[in-house]
Structure 1
Amino acid sequence: MRVLPGEPALSNPREAAPLPDSKSELPPVIKRAEVVASALVGLLVISIVAVLYVAKAFFLPVVGAFVVGTMLSPAAALLERYRIPRAVSAVLIVSAVGAGAALMVSLISSPLMQWTTRLPELGSQLRDKLHVFDRPLALWQELQNMLGGSGTLSAAPFQMPKFDWVQPTLEFLSPTFTEFLLFFATLILFIASWPDLRRALIMTFGDRAARLRTLRILNEIEGHLGGYLLTVTMINLGVGTATGMICAGTGMPKPAGLGALAATLNFFPIIGPVAMFAILVVVGVIASSTLGAGLIAPLAFVGVAFLEGHFVTPTIIGRRLELNALAVFMALAFWTWLWGPMGGFLSSPLLIVALILKEHLMPEDRPHLPPG
């Protein structure tokens, strides 16, 4: 290499070449702090779910009382405008809700207890009605044998399952007296002290912006949950009334009890109408003289449930409270697994609360779609 006069000589020619920008060539690397933070968040979620599952006897009545109390707080505020003390309003509202729930339970329990005592007889009647499927099952068996199948279905007549599940099911659906007492006591105290709790929660934050944001969140949760309870209750009562009229018109036994059961099960999205359809099929097949006559009431109920789910509820509740069907189903499955039937009832209100918190605490910049 030629060295010009006045320039120092280089011991290694490679030292004169510029180093490449190595930062732009390296792939993105996940920082260790992000991995640790994600792992800690995952462990925290698992711990919370485990505590809620193990301590169900405590958290279920308390959380249920908080959610139901938030739903009923607008009614207590309305009574306060007529100079009724908040504590008296809480007792009156809880008493009215308890009376309504007791009425629904009495309407449902009367035919349920009667049918429970006649389960062997009703099972025999159902088996006799389902003999119509013996020949199709036999034909299916012959077709499998002709095709070389193993023949998993036998040509024997339809057999009824045992009724050993009745007692465990009733125990699963019936909460303990302690849970009932804790729920109603917490509900009354929550409604009576909600204004003070609300004020204390808002004043916890020292920043004015944080206080205003907390106030907006609480107002939106209270308004949405109160509107959800009132609207869903009226819709479900309408579904129960329509179901009772259908059962009475088709000659089904205990139409009032079936209507009350339809109204109650409709509080559980997706699963409730499906369970009610199955119940109507069984009762209709047993009570009717023919299989076709027994399917009239279930099919009419399907029409009522379709109109309610696709037209009535979206129109009345509106787009603001309309929830994604997948999110509703996943929330229903999770809370029912965690807390049983009461968890399924609380799934939609808890989902509404979660969506409101996400909207205020983690707002998203929604990009506008280009004009098509």
Structure 2
Amino acid sequence: MVGIFLLLLTAAVAEARDFLMPVVLALLLSLVFRPVRRGMNRAGAGDGVAALVICTGLVLAVTALVMLLAQPVSTWVEDAPRIAWRIEQRLASLEGTVEAVTRAAEQLDNLAEGAEDSARASAATQGAEVAVEVRQGGGILAQVAAAAPLLLGQAVFTLVLLFFLLASGDMFYQRIVEVTPRLGDKKRALAIARDIERRLARYLFTITLVNAGLGVAVGLAMWAIGMPDPLMFGVAAFLLNYIPYVGAIAGTVLATAIGIVALPELWLAFAAGAAYFALTSLEGQVVTPYFVGRSLKLNTVVVFLSVAFWAWMWSVVGMIIAVPVLVVVRVFSEHIPAMSSVGRFLAANDAPPPENPSAAA
């Protein structure tokens, strides 16, 4: 029965993704901005005013980013087929250079004429293929345009739900006390809810600040190397770094690929990829562990599997929520003795033993 329930639950979560994704995103955003809301409360602003200011600022920030990035992103998307062809050509020319060093001079002389004719024919064929791909390249933008109404609706739903979550203040804790019958259960439920909020708020708020710093560093590095649209790379680094492991690899590949097309020398393209990878590695190995703390360190294998599972379930949004879900499970394991082994399995090797505030209470 437990196995059947888990299978049905997984299928239901996957099927209801269009509804559940904005709900989960709103919950995570409310945790990110809850320290900001409480700071505004201490300054004298009410919950509703603070929620309105935060949501308005979020809308303005997203709108400004979209306006800044719309032109470069649309240009790169439209040129994607041509970019892939140019990358192949440049790598092929590099391979040809290496092969030319190993060939004898007389073989090159004998094959020069045939190679030239073959190259012309190949270039003509590939040029025709690229022309067809460019004509079909609008398919990506067409797909985005087709999905735009759903995405816009989910964004509006997320924003409205975020406003209500922030404006409700601490109503959630009051309802826990009201609906839980026994005093011991009230204490445990409140301890779990507060611990989840504290850890997730700390993790998400800190990660957001760290990712913002990483985006600035990546943007400056791309600008120094001479990459086009360094702002786009900074924003991409900020967003991709919410995805453990996969985000850093995807950003490195993206920087290298665009560098191969846009930069005059191949070594500069690989330098751009290396700079991106070095900055994300420094962030992942030094900066984030220092600011997040050892208590939130998780088993890397479990994190990778969680990212893969949620990517299969909810695509990009799933990869973003993978780590917060593990943090929630670990908090439950620390407060419920029957789940203590699960919590220890989720923890990293150098993480401290799980605490049990409920037991202490």
Instruction: Report what 2:91 is aligned to.
Output: 130
Instruction: Report what 1:58 is aligned to.
Output: 19
Does the C-alpha gap of structure 1 residues 52 and 364 become closer, same or farther in structure 2, counting only changes over 3 Å?
Answer: closer
Q: Measure, in 2, the Cα distance between the counterparts of 1:172 and 1:264.
A: 23
- Greater gyration radius: 1
Does the C-alpha gap of structure 1 residues 262 and 173 become closer, same or farther in structure 2, counting only changes over 3 Å?
Answer: farther
Aligned CA RMSD, in angstroms, stands at: 2.9
1:1-372 → structure 2 map (5 Å cutoff): 40-135=1-96, 166-167=140-141, 170=144, 176-362=151-337, 364=340
8 Å CA contact 2:77, 2:141 repeated in 1: no
Does the C-alpha gap of structure 1 residues 94 and 126 become closer, same or farther in structure 2, counting only changes over 3 Å?
Answer: same
8 Å CA contact 1:73, 1:222 repeated in 2: no
Deviation at 1:167, TM superposition (A): 4.2
Q: Measure, in 1, the Cα distance between the counterparts of 2:315 and 2:291.
A: 29
Partner-residue secondary structure (3-state), 1:176 = helix
Residue segments in structure 1 that go unaligned for 5+ positions in a row:
1-39, 140-154, 367-372
Q: Measure, in 1, the Cα distance between the counterparts of 2:15 and 2:179.
A: 30
Does the C-alpha gap of structure 1 residues 105 and 345 become closer, same or farther in structure 2, counting only changes over 3 Å?
Answer: farther
What one-letter code is carried by the residue in structure 1 that aligns with 2:72? P
Deviation at 1:299, TM superposition (A): 0.8
What one-letter code is carried by the residue in structure 2 that aligns with 1:43? I
> For 1:139-176, what per-residue CA distance to the aligned partner results, in whole angstroms no more than 9, with x for missing partners?
9xxxxxxxxxxxxxxx9979799576734874798652
Deviation at 1:284, TM superposition (A): 0.7
What one-letter code is carried by the residue in structure 2 that aligns with 1:203? E
- Structure with the bigger percentage of helix: 2
Does the C-alpha gap of structure 1 residues 230 and 193 become closer, same or farther in structure 2, counting only changes over 3 Å?
Answer: same
Q: Measure, in 2, the Cα distance between the counterparts of 1:293 and 1:213.
A: 57
Does the C-alpha gap of structure 1 residues 172 and 300 become closer, same or farther in structure 2, counting only changes over 3 Å?
Answer: farther
Does the C-alpha gap of structure 1 residues 104 and 353 become closer, same or farther in structure 2, counting only changes over 3 Å?
Answer: farther
Deviation at 1:252, TM superposition (A): 0.7
Could you tell me the percent identity over the aligned residues?
26
Does the C-alpha gap of structure 1 residues 42 and 297 become closer, same or farther in structure 2, counting only changes over 3 Å?
Answer: same
What one-letter code is carried by the residue in structure 2 that aligns with 1:233? T
Q: Measure, in 2, the Cα distance between the counterparts of 1:122 and 1:189.
A: 44
Residue segments in structure 2 that go unaligned for 5+ positions in a row:
101-117, 345-361
Q: Measure, in 2, the Cα distance between the counterparts of 1:194 and 1:171.
A: 37
What one-letter code is carried by the residue in structure 2 that aligns with 1:252? M
Q: Measure, in 2, the Cα distance between the counterparts of 1:101 and 1:347.
A: 23
What one-letter code is carried by the residue in structure 1 that aligns with 2:32? M
Pairs aligned (count): 313
What one-letter code is carried by the residue in structure 2 that aligns with 1:188? F
Q: Measure, in 2, the Cα distance between the counterparts of 1:205 and 1:72.
A: 28
What one-letter code is carried by the residue in structure 2 that aligns with 1:218? A
What one-letter code is carried by the residue in structure 2 that aligns with 1:301? Y
- When normalised by structure 1's length, the TM-score is 0.76
Q: Measure, in 2, the Cα distance between the counterparts of 1:209 and 1:42.
A: 31
8 Å CA contact 1:74, 1:222 repeated in 2: no
Does the C-alpha gap of structure 1 residues 71 and 115 become closer, same or farther in structure 2, counting only changes over 3 Å?
Answer: closer
> For 1:80-132, what per-residue CA distance to the aligned partner results, in whole angstroms no more than 9, with x for missing partners?
22221111111111222233333333443331112233345434432331223
8 Å CA contact 1:129, 1:290 repeated in 2: no
Deviation at 1:250, TM superposition (A): 0.9
Which has the larger displacement, 241-250 or 201-210?
201-210
Does the C-alpha gap of structure 1 residues 219 and 120 become closer, same or farther in structure 2, counting only changes over 3 Å?
Answer: closer
Q: Measure, in 2, the Cα distance between the counterparts of 1:286 and 1:223.
A: 45
Deviation at 1:283, TM superposition (A): 1.0
8 Å CA contact 2:51, 2:166 repeated in 1: yes
Which has the larger displacement, 268-277 or 172-181?
172-181
Does the C-alpha gap of structure 1 residues 82 and 346 become closer, same or farther in structure 2, counting only changes over 3 Å?
Answer: same
Q: Measure, in 2, the Cα distance between the counterparts of 1:183 and 1:173.
A: 17
What one-letter code is carried by the residue in structure 1 that aligns with 2:155? F
8 Å CA contact 1:268, 1:344 repeated in 2: yes
> For 1:179-212, what per-residue CA distance to the aligned partner results, in whole angstroms no more than 9, with x for missing partners?
1222111111122124112210232112111111
Q: Measure, in 1, the Cα distance between the counterparts of 2:19 and 2:197.
A: 23
Does the C-alpha gap of structure 1 residues 121 and 44 become closer, same or farther in structure 2, counting only changes over 3 Å?
Answer: closer
Q: Measure, in 2, the Cα distance between the counterparts of 1:202 and 1:334.
A: 35
Deviation at 1:277, TM superposition (A): 0.6
